[in-house]
Amino acid sequence: MDSTRDVIITEVALRDGSHAVGHQFTVDQVTKVAKALDEANVPYIEVTHGDGLGGSSLQYGLSLTNEMELIEAAASSVKRAKISVLLLPGIGTMPELKEAARLGAKMARVATHVTEADVAPQHIALAKDLGLETVGFLMMSHMAPTAKLVEQAKLMESYGADTVYVVDSAGALLPHEVKERIRALKNSLSVQIGFHGHNNLSLAMANSLAAIEEGATRIDGSIRCLGAGAGNTQTEVLVTVLEKLGINTGIDIYKMMDIAEDLVAPILEKPQEITKDSLVLGYAGVYSSFLLHAQRAAKRFGIDSRDVLIELGKQNVVGGQEDMIVDVAAEISRKKLGVRV
């Protein structure tokens, strides 16, 4: 691994971690964590609803606190770090992106399904017009062959993205699959390449290192593994491993360890771990944020949540189709009871 190259970390616990806490972040929590991360020299901190700008809804989960308040609180708490926001076209809107920029956001990550980059040009263009660093975020990257991923990444680049990410939303990719994808993007694009992993198969760290080995210079992490499913690449572990490898992140590892123990751990209702359900997310290739929705639906219909997740995987359900989770659970329940409709 090339130890001469720097790696830039984006901390996603205050966005991806929103899924793990049912979107219940408070202004006080976000303020304290963002301030501490800034003092640890974390360069980018992402803050929105788990499903991005405009995500607070009955379908995706209602936020306790308006995300604009959280963005403003984070932006006013940092001195060096840049606040990032996620936007999924069709959920987030252009006025919301403008408002986020007004409140202090400095980076916009425009996220689409891996085969649907063509819904993003207007949002990327607006982000550029607002003076934001702009990232193309290709979610569920395991669902497309490498050639298709390259095609979609090139579209993101052509729209003006400064960076394009391979996003393992389901935590389903294996290290050799990450290497193949990152290598192909590195050979085909002139912009920076990033990787966002989930730990459902206990491979987030291995996959992040594989991505770096193939030339990715932007890597996401979630402190204390606070993220959807089994969480993301654990940031305090990642920066420590990279320091051992001689790869510079500029982040203070002692401070990150302290933040994880003292500030983030108390936010978690229970430790992030690979449970049977999160393991099935990775196995079946299901969007990590579906975890709590599937568990609630399974409980409602008295069935095994793993059966719901496996069926969602068979149906290739993707982010934005959360309403299908209840339908799938209801159908499994009917079959179990032998009810004909």
198 is in an annotated binding site: yes
Which of 19, 113, 123, 293 is catalytic? The answer is: 19
In contact, 194 and 219? CB cutoff 8 Å: yes
Backbone angles phi, psi at 279, to 5 degrees: -60, -40
- Which positions ≥6 away from 330 have C-beta within 8 Å? 301
Which of 322, 277, 325, 320 is closest to 52 using CA atoms? Answer: 320
142 is in an annotated binding site: no
Assess whether 19 carries a catalytic annotation.
Answer: yes
Position 114, amino acid = V
Encoding tokens for residue 334? 């009917």
Position 247, amino acid = I
Q: Left, alpha or beta for 133 (phi > 0: left; psi -120 to 50: alpha)? A: beta
Which of 340, 319, 321, 320 is closest to 331 using CA atoms? Answer: 340
Q: What is the DSSP string of 41-80?
A: T-SEEE-S-TT-TT--BTTTB--SS-HHHHHHHHHHH-SS
293 is in an annotated binding site: no
Half-sphere exposure for 25 (CA within 13 Å, toward CB): 33
Beta strands 163-167 and 133-139 are parallel
Which of 83, 111, 108 is closest to 97 using CA atoms? Answer: 108
165 is in an annotated binding site: no
Rounded Cα–Cα distance for residues 127 and 134 (Å)? 6
Rounded Cα–Cα distance for residues 204 and 232 (Å)? 6
Q: Name the 3-class secondary structure at 133.
A: strand
169 is in an annotated binding site: yes
16 is in an annotated binding site: yes
Encoding tokens for residue 320? 């934005």
Q: Which residues make up each annotated binding site for substrate?
A: 15-16, 169, 196, 287
Residues with active-site annotation: 19
Annotated binding site for Mn(2+): 16, 196, 198
Task: Name the binding residues.
Answer: 15-16, 169, 196, 198, 287
